[in-house]
Amino acid sequence: MKKVSDSAKAAAVMHFVSDSEDTGLTPEMAVDIFNELGQTFGPVDEVLHKYDMTRWARYDGLDDARWWEQLEMLAHVIDAMFDYFEFPPQEF
């Protein structure tokens, strides 16, 4: 699978994660969370708590593997859409 940009990683994490302590989820923290989850595959809640974050409540019903799959898929979609609109397919 194509490498995911840091921008897409940050956007995906910011969509799936809630700042539990109002510590301010920065784009850099979001990338760190994505990378750590990508290396360890969880447990998701332990990684998030390390950064004082939690899952958005709407994603509470997903098990760790499914949650990570959805997060990773969103990051790939963000990159693909950026590529599409910034570098549209050429018609010949």
Q: What average pLDDT does the structure give for the chain?
A: 85
Which DSSP string corresponds to 9-31?
HHHHHHHHEEETTS----HHHHH
- Chain centroid, CA 45 distance in Å: 14
Question: Is 59:91 a contact under the CB 8 Å cutoff?
Answer: no
Torsion angles phi and psi, residue 63, rounded to 5: -70, 170
- pTM equals 0.82
pLDDT band at 58; cut points 50, 70, 90: confident
Measured distance CA(54)–CA(88) in Å, rounded: 37
Q: What's the confidence (pLDDT) of residue 8?
A: 94
Encode pLDDT of 14-47 as tens digits.
Answer: 988 877 666 688 999 999 999 999 887 668 889 9
